[in-house]
Amino acid sequence: MLTALLWPLSLPFRAAVALRRLLYQRGILRAVRLSAPVVVIGNITVGGSGKTPLVAALARALAQRGHRPGIVSRGYARMSGDRVPIQVAVDDDPDRVGDEPLLLARAGFPVVVARDRVAAGRALLARHPECDVILADDGLQHYRLARDVEIAVVDTTRVPGRPWLLPAGPLREPPSRLAEVDAVVALVPTGGVGPASLPGAFAMTLAGAILVRVGDRDVTAPAAQFAGDGVHALAGIGHPARFFAQLGELGIAATPHPFPDHHRYVADDIAIAGARAILMTEKDAVKCEAFADARCWYLPVEARVDDALVTLIEGRLHGRQAA
């Protein structure tokens, strides 16, 4: 009922989105091209769809092929008032730089955050001139940053029944936008098949079966250790049910505790009486390290996608060099 009431408000939002895109397409609003090629990974919906794991996977794959990738991000929901770009360190405060950029930095890549992705890209290249390709995490709608490759990620378990834009629905842009990107990556459940509803999309899964103790990455445990009663699971991501379902596929029947995306955890959030183990995503874990106890574990996941996607990206990058 609320969705229907909000539908009229989505019409001016749709018009504003279309006008803004048209202004950039016609050159009235000018996009800024950086000295290194840019690959944008984003989505047309609000909330998580697996973008950050895909950015990490593409960075690793490009590095294996001889490239030197760097990453820029807005650092959504960070509390820092700094307006200048910030290079993310592996021991940074997630409130200062954002939880997802911190994960990407810990994956071993130079990461710079700023609301203005152009400023972030310039700062990245100034500090790391060796970078020959920039991956922009969640920058599909940041048209001021010119891009050489656009990749849209879609969570096939959350495809809306009615394609309504904000605030009536979850869409940032209309579904027709997917026809304009260079590649669509469809997140499917582990063990699932390719998405029949998205022909031509690259299927992606998030794989992980070994848990790591929060605050001590040298301590690991197999999923079987968490079978049985007394196990609880926290998830402050865009789609918490996806994490709980993944634990179920690993044979872990955890009591779920969903939180809003980018939730700022406090010690009371893990003060669960009678909990034998408290499981969470790696994104949640970086915000719990200061007060986590020995019951707290996280599940690292790795995006697995067809290597043909990396070949497609390289083809676009080589096309820019040839031009």
Rounded Cα distance, 98 and 76, in Å: 6
- Terminal-to-terminal C-alpha distance of the chain: 52
- For the entire predicted model, the pTM comes to 0.91
Cα distance between residue 10 and residue 171, in whole Å = 10
Following DSSP, what letter does each residue of 15-39 receive, concatenated? HHHHHHHHHHHTTSSPPBPPSS-EE
Who has greater pLDDT, 80 or 122?
122
Confidence of residue 7 (pLDDT cuts 50, 70, 90): low
Which residue did the predictor score with more confidence, 38 or 171? 38
Confidence tier at 227 by pLDDT (50, 70, 90): very high
The pair of structure tokens assigned to 50 is: 């697996």
Residue in the block written with tokens 């984003």: 42
Quick one: pLDDT at residue 195? 46
Enclosing H/E stretch for 12:
helix 2-25
Q: What angle do CA 57, 63, 64 make, to 5 degrees?
A: 90
Q: How far apart are CA 165 and CA 320, in angstroms?
A: 34
